[in-house]
Amino acid sequence: MNIIPLFGGVIFSALGIYVCYDYRRFNKNAFKIKGRVLRYEEYIAKDTDNIKRKVYRPFFEFTVNGSTYVVKSKTSFHSKIIPVGHYADVLYHKGDEENARLAEGNGAGLGILFIALSLPAYYFGLFH
């Protein structure tokens, strides 16, 4: 048994489970409305291979009951997935509109990826 890959597997699977849980929890009671992408914040981020890449974080607005909210997304993308000025689905909770999310980036895919990455780590940790 090799503890380092095993530890990595535990971290990846825990992170994957949390992302899937958060996706399900948020979407369960979220309301969907159309919002408009205002602009993107560009910045350089390092990925897991220590390679620097330009990523884009959208700012979007939407209106609920006459109040307009401008939100900086917590999710960044490798491209400008929705052109500036275009409309997209926004998910929000009543009373917590400042933490709204673009539906485009709010999926369980990242959680599933982390869980899938944990499987080889478990294998190498337990059997090599």
**In the beta sheet, which residues pair with residue 92?**
31
More confident residue, 121 or 89: 89
Per-residue pLDDT tens for 62-115?
A: 999 999 999 999 888 889 999 999 999 999 999 999 999 999 876 777 788 889
What is the 3-state secondary structure of 26-74? HHHCCEEEEEEEEEEEEEEEECCCCCEEEEEEEEEEEEECCEEEEEECC
In this model, does residue 125 exceed pLDDT 90?
A: no
Q: Give the angle subtended at the CA of 75 by the CAs of 73 and 80, to the nearest 5°.
A: 85
Q: What is the pTM of this model?
A: 0.76
Q: Helix, strand, or coil here: 90?
A: strand
Q: Helix, strand, or coil here: 89?
A: strand
Domain range summary for the chain, segments of one domain joined by +: 3-127
Per-residue pLDDT tens for 20-61?
A: 998 888 889 999 999 999 999 999 988 777 889 999 999 999
Tokens in use for 72? 């900086």
